[in-house]
């Protein structure tokens, strides 16, 4: 069963920012991972059949130059 985890990212201002983050996470976590990014809310939803660690998402986000703020409440 697929599990969705929502993370918060700071510093996104446009759709281009969202695309960079989505591409980085998809590249790092593989094809079986779906990523939805909303730059207006600063939320990144990662859906996968396997467990996704916050550290893996953090690495991808920070590599793109944005601030990873952890798992959303």
Which of 45, 49, 52, 47 minimizes the C-alpha distance to 18? 45
Q: What architecture is domain 3-71?
A: 2-Layer Sandwich (3.30)
d(CA 14, CA 52): 25
The whole-number pLDDT of residue 65 equals 96
pLDDT in tens, 2-55: 899 999 999 999 999 999 999 999 999 988 899 999 999 999 999 998 888 999
Whether the full predicted model's pTM is greater than 0.75, yes or no, is yes
The whole-number pLDDT of residue 51 equals 87
The whole-number pLDDT of residue 50 equals 87
Pair 43, 72: CB distance under 8 Å: yes
């Amino acid at each position: 069963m697929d599990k969705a985890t929502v993370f918060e990212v700071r510093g996104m201002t446009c759709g281009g920012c969202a695309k960079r983050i989505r591409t980085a996470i998809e590249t790092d976590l593989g094809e079986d991972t779906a990523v939805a990014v909303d730059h207006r809310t600063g939320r990144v939803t990662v859906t996968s059949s396997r467990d996704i660690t916050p550290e893996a998402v953090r690495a991808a986000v920070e590599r793109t130059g944005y601030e990873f703020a952890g798992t959303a409440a």
